[in-house]
Amino acid sequence: MTQPRRQFSREFKDEAVRLSERPDTTVRQTANDLGIREKMLHRWRSEKRDSQQDGTQFAPGQGHRRDEELEQLTRENQRLRLECDVLKKAMAFVLPRPN
């Protein structure tokens, strides 16, 4: 029987990375204390470092690039809906109303 895949919040990942960067502890020790795999913590550290270099958000979802793309497309979709609503309202003032 397989265990369900655990999901971690952005705050948990950020705190885990912060704890692992302290000079008085090691990545292995931090991972053991938090009950996660050392390899996972190394990946989070790498993702955070990459996000700081790229100027992107660290761990937007599960830390996958497709999550970043989804977030970007969602923002763009919101913007386009607002523009469409503004245009609809503007057309109501421009076009004469039928009698």
Q: pLDDT tens for residues 39-51?
A: 999 999 998 888 8
CA distance 23 to 32: 16
| Amino acid symbol at 61 | G
Whether 21 is in a domain gets the answer: yes
Question: pLDDT > 70: what percent of the chain?
Answer: 85
Whether 46 is in a domain gets the answer: yes
Whether 3 is in a domain gets the answer: no
Indicate if the pLDDT at residue 95 is higher than 90. Answer: no
Whether 77 is in a domain gets the answer: yes
Q: What's residue 99's pLDDT? A: 64
pTM to 2 decimal places: 0.56
Whether 16 is in a domain gets the answer: yes
How many domains is the chain partitioned into structurally?
A: 1
Give the confidence band of 60 by pLDDT, cuts at 50, 70, 90. Answer: low
Task: Give 10-15's long-range contacts (Cβ < 8 A, gap of 24+).
Answer: 10/58, 10/59, 10/60, 13/44, 13/48, 13/58, 13/59, 13/63, 14/48, 14/58, 14/59
- Which domain does 40 fall in, by range? 10-94
Whether 86 is in a domain gets the answer: yes
The average confidence (pLDDT) of the chain is 85
